[in-house]
Amino acid sequence: MHNKRSLLLYNFYQGLSDRFANMDRLLRHALPVLAEYLSADRVLFFDWKEEKSIISLRTMCQKGKCYDLQEDIFVDRYSPEVIKLLQDGYMMSPSLDYPAVYVLVQWRSPQGSFEALASGQRARSAYGVIRVERFKENKPFTQNEIESLIALCRELSSKINMTEIDHYNTSQLQRAQALNDLAKVFATSIRLSDSLIEILKSIQKSFYFDRTSLYLVDPKTNQLQEAYSADLSGEVKQIDINEALSKNFTLNCDGTTNICPAVRSSDIILTLPLTLQGKNLGWMVFDNMLSRMPIATEDIMSLKQFSAQIALAIDNARLFEKVQELSNYDELTKLALRRFFNENLAQEIYRSKRFNLTLSLIIMDIDYFKTINDTYGHLLGDEALKAVSGVISGSLRQTDLPCRYGGDEIVIMLPRTTGEEAKNIAKRLSEKVASIELNPKYTGGADIKLSISQGISVFPYDTDDQNDLIKRADEALYYVKQHGRGFWALYGDIKEGKMK
């Protein structure tokens, strides 16, 4: 019998000689083999969380097929049955009406608590229980079969131990790669929205949370500014601010300051603040609410370690956007600069060509602007230019782009706008500019009324070339100046002799 058992163990060992990615795959391979050797009808594997007095049904194999299950069962760690199982390593089922044997499986888990990791202890004892069943009452397990089962489970324990260590090392390597990927994001100054998306994608790609969410606050007001989340697919979506605010209070964040605790973690939720030099930038939430899988201690420590770098990446992206804004917009008028405008106009013309859309252009200047400067000084000239620019910015759609093209000349790009619609916009702008009241301290008490002259061209009716489009609008503006100023003209109307 000893030789037979040795051969059985050898064959079982050989069947487990492959490298398994994780413990679940090992169990799916080993348990059906074990059932076949013992002529068992069903084999079940339970995780035993001894410190919580809970065993969790994890895997069930029957007729060569295995199923992942999740069922927690309370056990009294001081009951005679549990004490016997711990002492003898096995026991017969005391409650089932068919033959069943419980066998203790023990291995060294490389994952541990914060304290264990801090002290350098990378392993702790972990337990599982295998239950082997025969559904017929007249087929009880013999003592030899029980001893063979215990020997097989010892062999399985050894293989679980190696698989868990291998899986741990692989996970550590993946974490290192994940943090390396994140470091690339940290080192790159890109747009804020792009930074947030890349951070979420990189975390999801490497850590496999059910969901990773990022909440950003305005560092000046501490109010929630924007929020994003990514799921297992890696797809990043923007979260509605109201929805994000409603979730905020469930995360133990202060509803007034939007500041979260330093680290708040449960088995399946982790909240990390994003702070930099005492400045609150927001927070991140990692959760496994769907899978209910506990978040690994090593993942918590890695993410906590890199939360400062994530905050730095966000701060860098904000700074980059601020620099970009300063380089793209005129300081006095807050309108786009010529280079930035030309780049956007080229893109919009390309889009209009591709989708057969209309685009209009308005070029304007302030009537008698040089006289204002010469008579009242450049302070009033600047004040007039700022006032007109403010009227324009406040009167356009988000898709429109006004630009300080040079001196007092302003050009406006109007995507998806016809010539007639552009004339209506020009009329509205003219009326609003006429109602501007300049500060008397710059005018010396004089009542100065402002007016603007405007020329309009339309793509593709006047031309399909960017430079010619600007030229046609300029020619229409010249016509207005030659015929009394203070009104607007469409290049097409001038060409067709419709202007009176």
Please list, in sequence order, all residues whose beta carbon lies within 8 angstroms of the beta carbon of residue 417, skipping any fewer than 6 positions away: 358, 359, 360, 425
Residue 108, pLDDT above cutoff 50: yes
Which among 120-129, 140-149, 327-336 has the top mean pLDDT? Answer: 140-149
pLDDT of residue 280: 82
Residue 121, pLDDT above cutoff 70: no
- Look up residue 456 and give its two tokens: 């309009």
Which among 3-7, 69-73, 322-326 has the top mean pLDDT? Answer: 69-73
> Of 200, 231, 204, 226, nearest to 215 (Cα)?
226
Domain coordinates in residue numbering, the chain:
2-168, 188-320, 338-495
Residue 251, pLDDT above cutoff 80: no
Please list, in sequence order, all residues whose beta carbon lies within 8 angstroms of the beta carbon of residue 469, skipping any fewer than 6 positions away: 345, 349, 359, 361, 457, 459, 462, 463
Q: Tell me which fold the domain 188-320 belongs to.
A: Beta-Lactamase (3.30.450)
Burial class (CB in 10 A: 0-12, 13-18, 19+), 87: exposed
Please list, in sequence order, all residues whose beta carbon lies within 8 angstroms of the beta carbon of residue 224, skipping any fewer than 6 positions away: 215, 216, 217, 241, 244, 245, 248, 258, 282
Q: 188-320: same fold as 2-168?
A: yes
Residue 440 preceded by cis peptide, ω within 30? no
Report the relative pairing of strands 452-459 and 488-490 from DSSP bridges: parallel
Residue 353, pLDDT above cutoff 50: yes
> Of 457, 474, 357, 458, nearest to 410 (Cα)?
474
Give CA separation, 267 vs 37, 219, 295, 417, in Å: 38, 31, 6, 55
| Domain range 2-168, CATH class | alpha beta
User: Mean of the per-residue pLDDT values for the chain?
Assistant: 81
Report d(CA 197, CA 210) in Å as an integer.
16
pLDDT of residue 190: 56
Which among 278-287, 309-318, 472-481 has the top mean pLDDT? Answer: 472-481
338-495 under CATH 3.40.190.150, yes or no: no
Beta strands in 110-207 (DSSP E): 124-133
CB 429 within 8 A of CB 391: yes
pLDDT of residue 109: 67
Residue 350, pLDDT above cutoff 50: yes
Q: What is the pLDDT of residues 393-421, one digit of tens each?
A: 889 988 899 998 888 899 999 999 999 99
Residue 226, pLDDT above cutoff 80: yes
pLDDT of residue 437: 87
Which has more pLDDT, 209 or 76?
A: 209
- Look up residue 92 and give its two tokens: 């017969």
Residue 42, pLDDT above cutoff 90: yes
Q: Which of 41-45, 92-96, 355-359, 424-428 has the lowest mean pLDDT?
A: 92-96
Q: What is the pLDDT of residues 77-91, one digit of tens each?
A: 778 888 888 888 888
